C-alpha cells in the first residue's frame, strides 16, 4: 500500500506541487487583501473540493461532451449546469457542517441565499475556467506528442524501407556475383578436364564428376522444393568415386539402395550430407572391419537411410556434429514430427538412422527391380 502511494506521488508530483504553490499563493494574497488569513482547516477543505471539481470538469465532463462531435453543446450546457449546482451545494453543505462543529463563526441560521450562491458561483466559474484551459492545453500537448510519435514512426519506416532497399541491392549484387563465380569456375573445370583427360582419363573423370557435384549442390541450394532422390544418389556415387581415387581404390565402402527409391522426392542434400559426414569424421581403411556402409531401404511404407562407419579417437574429439544438427533441423522444417532421426557412437562405431514415411516423399511406384549394390574395395 505504501509503495503504491509512493508511486502515485512520484507520477503526480507536478500536479501536487502546482496545487500546493497555488494554495499558498491564494492564502497569502487573501491575507494581504483582507488583513486576515483564512482558517487553517476550513480553507484546505474548500480547496480540496475545488481540486475535485477541477478534475471532474477536465477529465470527465469535457472529454465526454467533445466525443459527441457537433452535438457537444447539447450535452455540455445541461451537464455544466448540473455540475455548477452540485458545486454550490457541496460548498454550502461543508459550511453547514463546519458551523455545526463550531469551526467557523458564521451565523447559526445559515441558508442558501443569493449571496452564498453568487459567492460560490464566482469561485466555481473561476476554477472551471482554469479546468477548461487545462483540458485544452493537455489535449493539445497530447495530440502534439502523438503527432511527433507518428512522424517518428513514419521516419523510422522510411529508414527501414531504405535499409531494405539497400539490403535488396546488396543481395542482388551478391546473386550476380554468385552467378558469375560458378560460371567462371565451371568454365575453368571444363578447360582442365579437356586438357587433363588427354593425358590421364582417370584425372579427367575426377574433374568431370567434381564439376557435376558442384552443379548439383548449387542448383539444390537454389531450390525450395523436393528433388528426385535418384539425382542425389548419383552425386553420392560421384563422391565415393572421388574419395576412392584419392586412396587408389583402397577404401572399404558399401553403398546399397533399391531402384524403387530412385523416384522418391526428398528435400535436397540430406543423403549427401550424411555420406559426407562418413568421409569427414569416419575412420576409413581397406580393412574389412572398418568397412563403411551406406544403406537405403524401403521397409513397408517407410524409407530408411542408414550409415555405419568406424571412428578413431581423433575423429571423435574433432566432431561437433554440426552437419547432423543442420540435417535434423531441415527435416523438422520439412516434415514436422513425421520422421525419426538418430545417431550414436558405440565403441569405435558410429551410426546414423533416418526414417521417413514414403507418403511424405511423393512416392511414385516404379517397375520392381533388383536392388543395386555397389561394393567398392
Band (pLDDT 50/70/90 cuts) for residue 314 is low
Buried b (16+ CB within 10 A) or exposed e, 16-39: eeebeeebeeebeeeeeeeeeeee
| Same structural domain, 6 and 125 | yes
Q: With respect to residue 117, please indicate whether it lies within any of the assigned structural domains.
A: yes
| Same structural domain, 151 and 16 | yes
Band (pLDDT 50/70/90 cuts) for residue 271 is very high
The boundaries of the domain holding residue 252 are 248-376
| Same structural domain, 140 and 269 | no
| pLDDT computed for residue 369 by the predictor | 38
| pLDDT computed for residue 374 by the predictor | 41
| Same structural domain, 134 and 252 | no
pLDDT at 317 over 90: no
Q: Rounded distance, CA 240 to CA 257, Å? A: 14
Q: With respect to residue 52, please indicate whether it lies within any of the assigned structural domains.
A: yes
Q: With respect to residue 196, please indicate whether it lies within any of the assigned structural domains.
A: no
**Ranges 68-82, 213-227, 261-275, 292-306: which has the least confidence:** 213-227
> What are the start-end ranges of the E strands in 260-358?
265-266, 292-299, 302-310, 339-346, 349-357
pLDDT at 315 over 60: no
Domain endpoint, select from 112, 130, 158: 158
| pLDDT computed for residue 111 by the predictor | 80
Q: With respect to residue 215, please indicate whether it lies within any of the assigned structural domains.
A: no
* CA dist 306 → 61, 101, 156, 255 (Å): 77, 97, 52, 10
Write out pLDDT tens, residues 219-267. 776 655 788 999 999 999 999 998 888 888 889 999 999 999 999 999 9
Write out pLDDT tens, residues 164-196. 777 666 655 555 455 445 655 666 667 677 777
Domain endpoint, select from 123, 158, 193: 158
Mean pLDDT for 55-75 is 88
**Radius of gyration for the alpha carbons in the chain, expressed in angstroms and rounded:** 44
| Same structural domain, 152 and 270 | no
Nearest to 291 by CA among 360, 376, 352: 376
Which domain CATH number covers 354? 3.30.565.10
Q: With respect to residue 166, please indicate whether it lies within any of the assigned structural domains.
A: no
**Ranges 6-20, 22-36, 85-99, 336-350: which has the least confidence:** 22-36
Domain endpoint, select from 103, 124, 158: 158
pLDDT at 297 over 80: yes
Cα 298 from chain centroid (whole Å): 41
Tally of structural domains, the chain: 2
| Same structural domain, 22 and 154 | yes
| Same structural domain, 11 and 150 | yes
Write out pLDDT tens, residues 93-147. 888 888 878 776 665 567 888 888 888 888 888 889 989 999 999 999 999 999 9
pLDDT at 367 over 50: no
Q: With respect to residue 322, please indicate whether it lies within any of the assigned structural domains.
A: yes
Q: Could you say which DSSP state residue 263 is in?
A: T
| pLDDT computed for residue 371 by the predictor | 42
Query: Does residue 290 contact residue 350 with C-beta atoms inside 8 Å?
Result: no
Q: Which residue has the higher pLDDT, 195 or 44?
A: 44
Write out pLDDT tens, residues 329-362. 889 888 888 899 999 988 889 999 999 999 998 7
Q: With respect to residue 202, please indicate whether it lies within any of the assigned structural domains.
A: no
Mean of the per-residue pLDDT values for the chain?
A: 82
- What pTM does this model have? 0.48
| Same structural domain, 253 and 368 | yes
| Same structural domain, 153 and 253 | no
Q: With respect to residue 230, please indicate whether it lies within any of the assigned structural domains.
A: no
Query: Does residue 211 contact residue 218 with C-beta atoms inside 8 Å?
Result: no
| Same structural domain, 123 and 252 | no
| Same structural domain, 142 and 258 | no
| Same structural domain, 19 and 154 | yes
Q: Rounded distance, CA 359 to CA 33, Å? A: 97
pLDDT at 368 over 50: no
Query: Does residue 206 contact residue 242 with C-beta atoms inside 8 Å?
Result: yes
Amino acid at each position: 500500500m505504501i509503495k503504491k502511494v509512493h508511486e502515485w506521488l512520484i507520477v503526480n508530483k507536478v500536479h501536487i506541487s502546482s496545487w500546493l504553490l497555488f494554495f499558498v499563493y491564494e492564502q497569502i494574497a487573501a491575507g494581504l487583501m483582507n488583513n486576515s488569513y483564512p482558517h487553517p482547516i476550513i480553507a484546505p477543505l474548500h480547496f480540496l473540493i475545488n481540486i475535485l471539481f477541477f478534475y471532474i470538469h477536465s477529465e470527465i465532463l469535457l472529454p465526454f461532451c467533445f466525443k459527441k462531435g457537433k452535438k457537444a453543446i447539447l450535452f455540455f450546457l445541461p451537464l455544466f449546469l448540473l455540475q455548477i449546482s452540485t458545486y454550490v451545494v457541496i460548498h454550502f453543505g461543508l459550511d453547514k457542517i463546519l458551523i455545526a462543529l463550531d469551526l467557523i463563526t458564521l451565523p447559526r441560521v445559515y441558508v442558501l441565499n443569493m449571496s452564498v450562491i453568487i459567492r460560490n458561483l464566482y469561485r466555481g466559474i473561476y476554477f472551471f475556467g482554469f479546468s477548461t484551459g487545462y483540458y485544452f492545453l493537455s489535449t493539445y500537448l497530447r495530440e502534439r506528442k502523438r503527432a511527433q510519435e507518428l512522424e517518428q514512426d513514419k521516419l523510422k519506416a522510411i529508414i527501414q524501407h531504405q535499409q531494405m532497399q539497400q539490403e535488396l541491392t546488396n543481395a542482388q549484387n551478391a546473386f550476380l556475383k554468385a552467378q558469375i563465380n560458378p560460371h567462371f569456375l565451371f568454365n575453368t573445370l571444363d578447360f582442365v578436364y579437356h586438357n587433363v583427360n588427354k593425358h590421364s582419363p582417370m584425372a579427367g573423370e575426377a574433374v568431370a564428376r567434381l564439376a557435376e557435384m558442384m552443379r548439383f549442390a548449387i542448383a539444390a541450394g537454389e531450390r525450395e522444393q523436393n528433388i528426385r532422390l535418384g539425382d542425389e544418389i548419383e552425386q553420392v556415387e560421384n563422391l565415393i568415386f572421388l574419395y576412392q581415387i584419392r586412396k587408389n581404390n583402397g577404401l572399404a565402402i558399401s553403398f546399397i539402395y533399391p531402384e524403387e527409391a530412385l523416384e522418391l522426392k526428398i528435400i535436397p542434400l540430406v543423403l549427401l550430407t550424411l555420406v559426407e559426414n562418413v568421409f569427414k569424421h569416419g575412420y576409413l581403411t581397406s580393412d574389412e572391419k572398418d568397412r563403411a556402409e551406406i544403406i537405403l531401404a524401403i521397409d513397408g511404407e517407410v524409407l530408411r537411410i542408414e550409415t555405419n562407419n568406424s571412428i578413431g579417437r581423433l575423429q571423435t574429439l574433432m566432431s561437433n556434429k554440426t552437419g547432423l544438427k543442420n540435417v535434423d533441423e531441415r527435416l523438422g522444417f520439412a516434415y514436422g514430427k513425421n520422421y525419426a532421426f538418430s545417431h550414436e557412437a558405440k565403441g569405435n562405431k558410429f551410426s546414423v538412422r533416418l526414417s521417413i514415411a514414403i507418403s511424405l516423399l511423393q512416392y511414385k511406384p516404379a517397375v520392381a527391380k533388383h536392388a543395386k549394390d555397389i561394393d567398392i574395395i
